[in-house]
Chains A and B, each alone.
Chain A
Amino acid sequence: MSKTLVCPCEDVSLADVEACLAAGYVDLEEVKRYTGFGTGPCQGKQCLLHVARLCGERTGEAQPFTARPPLSPVPLGLFAGKRREP
């Protein structure tokens, strides 16, 4: 089917974001929580600006969301690497 993807990682379409905005969730953090955009492997590198622009059209100000680590996908083992015995 034909879809315009705003956030390909989480499969959030332009229609999804527009429905969210129409429902009254116009703050970027609200849109993130409602649609899940920006929470996939790229962590917003592909979608943040698209959605910030759409929100900015409603609120008058384009703002980013909070950038939380890890900013890129990493294996969990990275944080629990084996300690080497001396």
Chain B
Amino acid sequence: MSGSPPDQGPRHLTVDGRRIGALPGQSVATALCAAGVDTFGRSVKYHRPRGPFCFAGQCGSCLVRIDGAPSVRSCLVEAAAGMIVERQNGFPSVDQDLLSAADLIFAGGMDHHTIGTATRAGSYVINEAVRLASGLGRLPDVATARAPQMLAAPETVRTDVVIVGGGPAGLAAATTLARGGLAVLLIEERRTLGGSLLASTEGVQRRDWLVAQLQSTTARVLTEATAIGWFGEDRAEPQDAPGLLAVATRERLLKIVARRYLYATGSYEQNLLFANNDRPGVVAWRGLLRLVHEEQFRPEGTLLVVGEYGHAAAAALTAAGLAVDRLPVDAELIAARGRTRVTGVDYRAGQGAPKQTRRGRWLVIAARPAPATELLRQHGCIVGWDDARGGLFVVADGEGRTDRPHVFACGDVCGLQSHELSLVAGRRSAMAIAASLARPVGSHE
């Protein structure tokens, strides 16, 4: 490590002009939650109150305006001193939003194909009204927005192997490949490595060990780097896989050309379907746990825990000293209570059972995650469906080979699996990749 030691003290930012503090390492979303901000913004059509759900950059619920740039995922941005945060999409304000009348007027939903289409004049009026009212956020302040001004020209990066995802599978694969003498680039969307390991204290310890292993190699790691698409049309050098992986960093667009592509993209948090499942305070279990373990976040009030993974979630949250109330395993959620944030939940303990209510400030959804298959689908890889493995998954053999040459996959993206299996899959994929590049990894691995 070089440079001056990181600033350990609290920093201050403003939210709609109000000064709040943030601890080092906290995201803007975490800082806002800690400061008691419930509504981050209003939704696009019905102007319903919204707050963060996944805390992992995988949903669109925590968008705010930061330093003049609209619709920024606040869970991905580290809070910095002097940051100007504005909640967005409320008219006239996020707390008192007149456009939320749309939620009442269109109580049963909105079919925009048929609104006002009876007459030509009606159609015109509706169209103009919708044009005025729709959209998300305001255009960037060109003079002050940081993002557009700091971006440099796109750059091409060549490497032997690029690994997408810094969870257990990706970390294990990167270490194994780098020890085998290959040029490895590991990219991770979030600010810290570890992925789903960060949902438990044992996982955090395991992450620390894996990262220490990785740091003893020559592997290059890029955090805050998001793979935004595979572009197969651009033909690269004949010996390379034909195409490029587009990766967005905070500074520029990277066009990554690799001899092998390994996707360890993990899985996305998922919500359950029940009334008002979008209320601020409804949060994904792994995201919340990562905040507790990595961002010094202590949610106040009772945490209602529900879902298939409720046992693991409740155990980890209880171990962290938080007030947990776990709903029965067979609980069928009816509706979240609360107008601008969760105050409780109505549910039935099994089909046909009477309605019951529990009170709490957070509704922690511990549902089965969904494998993150997009990039592999863009490569044209075969996908399968198995509800028990998270729904849609990528088909790969035991050594991570997909049906596309040069393209490998390991971990949750191939169907949900334990961290232990992901580690093994990462190592085995790495060995298969090294063998395919005629550079076998030593048996000491």
The interface of chain A, by Cβ under 8 A from chain B, is 1-6, 8-11, 13-16, 19, 34, 40-46, 48-50, 52-53, 56, 61-62, 64, 66-79, 81-84
B152 touches A81 (CB 8 A): yes
- Known: A42-B58, A73-B60; 19 extra A-B contacts, CB below 8 A, are A3-B103, A3-B275, A3-B276, A4-B273, A6-B273, A11-B48, A15-B109, A52-B391, A62-B391, A64-B383, A67-B378, A70-B228, A72-B189, A72-B228, A78-B253, A81-B152, A81-B253, A82-B151, A82-B152
The interface stretch among B169-177, B366-374, B420-428, B431-439 is B366-374
Given A69-B228, A72-B228, A73-B71, CB of A16 within 8 Å of CB of B110:
yes
In Å, the complex CA distance between A14 and B275 comes to 9
Bound Cα distance A50, B278 (Å): 15
- Determine if A41 and B154 form an interchain contact, defined as CB atoms under 8 angstroms apart: no
Do A70 and B246 contact each other (CB < 8 Å), given the known contacts A16-B110, A41-B73? yes
Shortest Cβ distance from B269 into A: residue? A46
**Contact between B278 and A71 (Cβ–Cβ < 8 Å)?**
no
Q: A62 contacts which chain B residues (CB < 8 A)?
A: 385, 391-392
Given the complex of chains A and B, what is the CA–CA distance between A77 and B249 in angstroms? 12
Within the complex, which residue of B103, B229, B268 is in contact with A46, where a contact is CB–CB below 8 Å?
B268
A-B contact list, 17 entries, CB within 8 Å: A1-B103, A8-B50, A8-B59, A9-B60, A11-B43, A41-B60, A41-B136, A45-B372, A46-B60, A46-B269, A50-B273, A62-B385, A66-B377, A68-B229, A70-B248, A72-B226, A81-B152
**In the bound complex, how far is the Cα of B274 from the Cα of A53, in angstroms?**
16
Instruction: Report B-chain residues with C-beta under 8 Å of the C-beta of A1.
Output: 46, 103-104, 107
Residues of B within 8 A of A6 (CB): 273
Does B234 make an interface contact (CB < 8 A)?
Answer: no
For the complex, give the distance between the alpha carbons of A46 and B273 in Å. Answer: 11
B322-345 with Cβ < 8 A to chain A: 335
Size of B's binding interface in residues, CB under 8 A: 67
- The tally of CB-CB contacts under 8 A between chains A and B is 161
Q: How far is the CA of A22 from the CA of B435 in the complex (A)?
A: 52
| Complexed CA–CA distance, A83 and B155 (Å) | 10
* Distance from B189 Cβ to chain A, minimum over Cβ atoms (Å): 8
Q: Does B252 contact A (CB under 8 A)?
A: yes
Determine the chain B residues whose CB is within 8 A of the CB of A9 once the complex forms: 44, 59-61
Contact at A67–B148, with CB atoms within 8 Å? no
Q: Which positions 238-264 of chain B face chain A at CB distance < 8 Å?
A: 246, 248, 252-253
B229: nearest residue on chain A (CB-CB)?
A69
Instruction: Give chain B nearest CB distance to A58 CB in angstroms.
Output: 15
Q: Are A46 and B271 in contact (CB under 8 A)?
A: yes
In the complex, which residue of chain B has the Cβ closest to the Cβ of A53?
B391
Are B278 and A8 in contact (CB-based, < 8 A)?
yes
User: A46-B268, A75-B69 given as contacts; is B46 within 8 A of A11 (CB)?
Assistant: yes
| Given the contacts A8-B50, A50-B273, A74 and B377 also touching, CB distance less than 8 Å | no
Residues of B within 8 A of A53 (CB): 391
Task: Digitize B2-30: 1 where CB-to-A-CB distance is under 8 Å, 0 elsewhere.
Answer: 00000000000000000000000000000
Partner of B227, one of A13, A45, A52, A71: A71
A8 to B57, CA, bound (A): 14
On whether the beta carbons of A45 and B392 are closer than 8 Å, the reply is no
The answer to whether A74 touches B154, judged by C-beta atoms less than 8 angstroms apart, is no
B151 and A75: CB pair below 8 A? Answer: yes
A10 touches B151 (CB 8 A): no
Verify if B277 is at the interface (C-beta below 8 Å from A). yes
Distance (whole angstroms) from the CB of B339 to the closest CB of chain A: 11
The answer to whether A81 touches B154, judged by C-beta atoms less than 8 angstroms apart, is: yes
Is the CB of B178 closer than 8 A to any CB of chain A?
A: no
The minimal Cβ–Cβ distance linking A64 to chain B, given in whole angstroms, is: 6
